[in-house]
Structure 1
Amino acid sequence: VLATDVEASEQANSSYAANTANNKAFMEVVQAAGYRSTIYTMGSWVGTKMSVDKGWIADYPYNTSRDRYTSHHAWQFRSDQQFAGSYGNFDVSQLYDDFFTANQTPSPSAPVTPVPSQPAKSNAASDTDYAQTGVFKPSATVNIRTGAGTGYASVGSYTLGESVIYDHVYIRGTYVWARYLSYSGRYHYVALGVNGGESYGSRSSNAQTYSHTYYTVRSGDSFWSIASKYGISMYTLAANNGKSIYSLIYPGESLYIR
């Protein structure tokens, strides 16, 4: 399901008819491409800012003891849920039908086997590590990965002129990896170099001198691509630099990340 998020200030200032028509046109394009679509928006906008037939409705009441928006596909009732054994906050929703699960339901006679979301254990970052804090400055482009291994997904890159503050170091087979906490609250990893061989940059133990992070804009960059790299909201990134997400940014311009 591709959900269109309708809650921006531009839509707040548009008419009910315009918002309804624009949502319909967008969803028709999605459906023509072979996907299912729905609208994600806040409860106060349903029926006031636009028509929402069946959507994914966000409403965070103080008391969540009863179901709300039961005529829709789902109700998102908080964005800061914390679960024992997991790090960070989670969005949580109550589903009222099988729309988001593509009409698939588990058989009561057969247990559901979770699909592994990580590569083989030999490529994973275990709890045994080197608690080293420092700053890594790459001398070439290095990929940012979701785990300490080349089998993990790449979610961005660091390049010459940038730096990353890390808090742990792992040696995993061929490579040495540094771990850092991204602004999204998730751990990410970069390769420091080949184990016993080539280094991909320089390391400094003085992380305190890098309390602020800046990014130099490159050709093809956007607020979305830069924010995704650092795991922050593009709205926050723009606001940190006195801009909106619709402002122009230029190669060579320095943006304050935090």
Structure 2
Amino acid sequence: GSYGNFDVSQLYDDFFTANQTLSPSTHVTTAPSQPAELNAASDSDYAQTGVFKPSTAVNIRTGAGTGYTAVGSYVPGESLVYDHVYIRGSYVWARYLSYSGRYHYVALGVNGGESYGSRSSGYTSPVSHTSYTVRSGDSFWSIASKYGISMYTLAANNGKSIYSLIYPGESLYIR
């Protein structure tokens, strides 16, 4: 028996449940961890490049999955250049190289479902994010963490200290 949170939404052949006995002609096999059709689609990757423009806020993560740490976000009006696409579970992920030299990931949408923005391909030169327009609620820390640089470097690149005030609409030089 099982006590508490038990998912029986997927049933497989050749299984039995509690309070049933096996007859001599019945056999039990081990359940697959996922249906075969999910395994094939959930672990795909593609060497695709392009530009992604979110239509909703999307988290920037340290890996291609919702279990990875969110280190920032992109909002409508921003864009990123990605160099690889992964399908992991129910989501489609794009990988891009951040200014820190580390790879980061954003969800492009649900596999076979909702898209979180638009993608275009075929660009001939990388798009460079050299400036950022400050929005209400931004700080040197939040902007620097989004681009993977130190807040001290961001402030210094703009002739300021981390204690300087920044204002919505102000443009900051990132690199």
For normalisation by structure 2, the TM-score amounts to: 0.69
Asked whether 1:239 is paired with 2:156, we answer yes
SS at match of 1:208: coil
* Aligned counterpart, 2:54: 138
Distance in structure 1 (CA, Å) of the matches to 2:126 and 2:59? 24
Contact 1:169 1:177 (8 Å CA) reproduced = yes
Contact 1:135 1:207 (8 Å CA) reproduced = no
Report 1 or 2 for greater relative contact order, CA contacts < 8 Å, sequence distance ≥ 6: 2
More helix by share: 1
- Offset, 1:160: 1.1
SS at match of 2:125: helix
Identical counterparts, % of pairs: 86
1:218 counterpart letter in structure 2: R
For normalisation by structure 1, the TM-score amounts to: 0.48
Distance in structure 1 (CA, Å) of the matches to 2:162 and 2:129? 21
SS at match of 1:198: coil
Distance in structure 1 (CA, Å) of the matches to 2:75 and 2:106? 11
1:135 counterpart letter in structure 2: V
How many residues align? The count is: 134
1:247 counterpart letter in structure 2: S
Distance in structure 1 (CA, Å) of the matches to 2:163 and 2:124? 34
Aligned alpha-carbon RMSD (Å): 2.1
- Offset, 1:207: 6.4
Distance in structure 2 (CA, Å) of the matches to 1:214 and 1:200? 24
Q: C-alpha offsets along residues 124-161 of structure 1, whole Å, 9 cap, x if unaligned?
A: x97x6211121111111001111111111111111111
Distance in structure 2 (CA, Å) of the matches to 1:232 and 1:251? 20
Distance in structure 1 (CA, Å) of the matches to 2:50 and 2:61? 18
Q: 1:216 to 1:207 in 2, by over 3 A?
A: farther
Asked whether 1:250 is paired with 2:167, we answer yes
Aligned match for 1:151, one of 49, 52, 67: 67
Aligned match for 2:80, one of 144, 151, 164: 164
Distance in structure 2 (CA, Å) of the matches to 1:131 and 1:241? 36
Aligned match for 1:200, one of 116, 140, 151: 116
- Offset, 1:237: 1.2
Contact 2:81 2:126 (8 Å CA) reproduced = no
2:164 counterpart letter in structure 1: S
Question: Which runs of structure 2 are paired with 1:14-163 in the superposition (5 Å)?
Answer: 129-163=45-79
Aligned match for 1:178, one of 94, 102, 109: 94
